């Protein structure tokens, strides 16, 4: 991977930075650039109409009440910081020889350094879908549209028992809808959570009245006469009548712009620990990237706010010639009913789990260790102290006492030798 940078130095004029994508990673890159003293122009092109906003509430708070998009920063911030925002505009193609981007209004925008922050798109189904009534939740507009479904108290089938599907299930149940979650794998969250956590969250959803069906593959979504949704048919023939379907089957990186110009991509743009792609002066940040995470095997595509802000700082530091901040332990959160889940670290390589607290009490943590008893991850449900301690221990490489970990009478601070 090239480490060449086109960063401005004292002999050249300040560089023009173009950021494609006005989500968490794009907006944070612009803010970090100014914070780190970048004096050249910064332009963000984003294809949504809203100013950069918080995306996690799409499957949570935006589905309750009548919240407006919760903006990351007041619009005046971008004016004050001289950050140009081109909203409602999409970048269609790139020319790296002439260093220009062509937008969907055929205008061209020149740049010296480019940051791709295009995020991910909701994965679609190959099945034929009715004209109306099938929802993917990726944007604020999606959430506003789907909120009206919740208001009509329709019976809802959610396809996919991942985090977004489960958060939507929780919001829909809280709003009085009948909800079924169908998951093709053997358990909920199979790809991203431990069996203990899956079990606890399955119990929570069932307790709240959600019909959770695992080993349940979709066969067909049946359209009603007026083009809406009438029912979901499973491969085993079961028919689930419903008025709306949520498709929560994951997301795919929007890496096509850089793929087309020859950047190394493999299910996401491959970047190094400075958010540099394989092309000189071209960076990528956030959900669209795949990278190595120190302490864990392989290259990983993380979909989380902490990852977006961490890589934004890396790119901004590299562009401004500053020391790139050290990689952080990956972490993520999810809210379902009154359960706040926080996960620090990654489960890959886990060979031993230790549970602290009782899952049926609603507050517990699952610690994951490797063969050498090195702490890899902690999944904490309504257990913020375990999350904080676990994240700190993973960062420092400290190993908590395995024998004492399950004993709630021993404070967390006493589990690691001083
Ligand atoms: C429903 C939902 C709930 C979530 N909940 C959580 C949570 O609880 N905790 C957590 O840590 N993370 C959560 N996430 C993940 C988190 O929101 C993402 O990791 C984060 O938004 C990634 O930021 P990003 O800037 O890389 O991508 P995005 O936020 O997706 O922003 C990318 C932007 O680029 C735009 N774009 C794409 N292509 C172009 C183009 N060619 N030209 C112009 N603009 C373009 C997109 O439309 C989008 O506006 C959730 C995500 C979703 C969808």
**117: Cβ below 6 Å to ligand 1?**
yes
**281: Cβ below 6 Å to ligand 1?**
no
User: Among candidates 20, 4, 5, which has minimal Cα distance to 288?
Assistant: 20
Residue 314, judged by CB atoms within 10 A of its CB (0-12, 13-18, 19+), counts as: buried
The pLDDT of residue 31: 98
pLDDT tens figures, 260-272: 999 999 999 999 9
**Separation of alpha carbons 326 and 194, rounded Å:** 27
Residue 71, judged by CB atoms within 10 A of its CB (0-12, 13-18, 19+), counts as: middle
pTM of the model: 0.95
The pLDDT of residue 303: 97
pLDDT tens figures, 137-191: 999 999 999 999 999 888 999 999 999 999 999 999 999 999 999 999 999 999 8
**Separation of alpha carbons 1 and 264, rounded Å:** 9
pLDDT tens figures, 89-124: 999 999 999 999 999 999 999 999 999 999 999 999
- Please say if the pLDDT value at position 400 is more than 50: yes
CA contacts within 13 A on the Cβ side of 362: 9
Instruction: Please state the atom number of ligand 1 nearest to the C-alpha of residue 27.
Output: 25
**Separation of alpha carbons 404 and 356, rounded Å:** 10
Question: At 11, is the pLDDT very low, low, confident or very high (cuts 50, 70, 90)?
Answer: low
Distance 63 CA to ligand 1 centre (A): 17
Which are the contacts of 134, defined by CB distance < 8 A and separation ≥ 6?
221, 229, 244, 245, 246, 247
- Cα dihedral 329, 315, 191, 183, rounded to 10, equals 130
Instruction: Please state the atom number of ligand 1 nearest to the C-alpha of residue 138.
Output: 53
Instruction: Please state the atom number of ligand 1 nearest to the C-alpha of residue 58.
Output: 1
Residue 91, judged by CB atoms within 10 A of its CB (0-12, 13-18, 19+), counts as: buried
CB atoms within 10 A of CB 413: 9
The pLDDT of residue 14: 76
The phi and psi torsions of 339 (rounded to 5 degrees) equal -95, 120
Question: At 275, is the pLDDT very low, low, confident or very high (cuts 50, 70, 90)?
Answer: very high
**179: Cβ below 6 Å to ligand 1?**
no
Best residue for ligand 1 mutational test, from 55, 117, 251, 379 (most atoms within 8 Å of Cβ):
55
Distance 56 CA to ligand 1 centre (A): 8
Distance 54 CA to ligand 1 centre (A): 9
Best residue for ligand 1 mutational test, from 18, 25, 31, 56 (most atoms within 8 Å of Cβ):
56
Instruction: Please state the atom number of ligand 1 nearest to the C-alpha of residue 285.
Output: 26
**Separation of alpha carbons 343 and 388, rounded Å:** 10
Output the CA torsion sign for 175, 192, 58, 267.
negative
- All structural domains of the chain, each given as residue ranges with its CATH number in brackets, are 17-121+252-320 (3.50.50.60), 124-247 (3.50.50.60), 338-414 (3.30.390.30)
pLDDT tens figures, 341-380: 999 999 998 999 999 999 989 999 999 999 999 999 999 9
């Amino acid at each position: 991977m090239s480490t060449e940078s086109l960063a401005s130095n004292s002999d050249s004029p300040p560089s023009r930075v173009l950021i494609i994508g006005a989500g968490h990673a794009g907006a944070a890159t612009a803010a970090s650039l100014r914070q780190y003293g970048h004096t050249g122009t910064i332009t963000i092109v984003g294809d949504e109409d809203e100013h950069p906003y918080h995306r996690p509430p799409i499957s949570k708070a935006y589905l309750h009440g009548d919240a407006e998009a919760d903006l990351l920063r007041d619009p005046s911030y971008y004016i004050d910081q001289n950050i140009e925002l081109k909203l409602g505009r999409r970048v269609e193609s790139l020319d790296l020889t002439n260093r220009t981007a062509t937008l969907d209004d055929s205008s061209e925008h020149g740049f010296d350094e480019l940051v791709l922050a295009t995020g991910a798109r909701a994965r679609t189904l190959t099945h034929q879908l009715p004209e109306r009534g099938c929802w993917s939740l990726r944007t604020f507009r999606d959430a506003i549209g789907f909120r009206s479904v919740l208001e009509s108290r329709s019976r809802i089938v959610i396809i996919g028992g991942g985090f977004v599907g489960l958060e939507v299930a929780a919001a829909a149940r809280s709003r009085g809808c009948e909800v079924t979650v169908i998951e093709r794998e053997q358990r909920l969250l199979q790809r991203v959570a431990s069996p203990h956590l899956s079990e606890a969250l399955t119990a929570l959803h069932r307790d709240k009245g959600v019909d959770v069906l695992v080993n349940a593959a979709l066969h067909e979504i049946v359209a009603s006469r007026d083009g809406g949704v009438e029912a979901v048919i499973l491969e085993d023939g079961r028919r689930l009548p419903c008025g709306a379907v949520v498709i929560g089957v994951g997301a795919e990186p929007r890496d096509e712009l850089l793929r087309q110009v020859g950047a190394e991509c493999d299910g996401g743009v491959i970047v190094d620990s400075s958010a540099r792609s394989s092309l000189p002066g071209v960076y990528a940040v956030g959900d669209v990237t795949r990278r190595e995470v120190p302490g864990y095997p392989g290259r990983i595509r993380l979909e989380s706010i902490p990852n977006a802000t961490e890589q934004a700082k890396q790119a901004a530091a590299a562009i401004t010639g500053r020391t790139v901040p050290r990689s952080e332990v990956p972490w993520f959160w999810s809210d379902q009913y009154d359960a706040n889940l926080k996960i620090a670290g990654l489960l890959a390589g886990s060979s031993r789990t230790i549970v602290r607290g009782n899952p049926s009490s609603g507050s517990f943590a699952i610690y994951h260790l490797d063969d050498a008893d090195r702490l890899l991850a902690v999944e904490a449900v309504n257990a913020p102290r375990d999350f904080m301690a676990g994240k700190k221990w993973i960062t420092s490489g400290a190993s908590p006492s395995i024998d004492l970990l399950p004993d709630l009478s021993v404070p967390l601070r006493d589990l690691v030798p001083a």
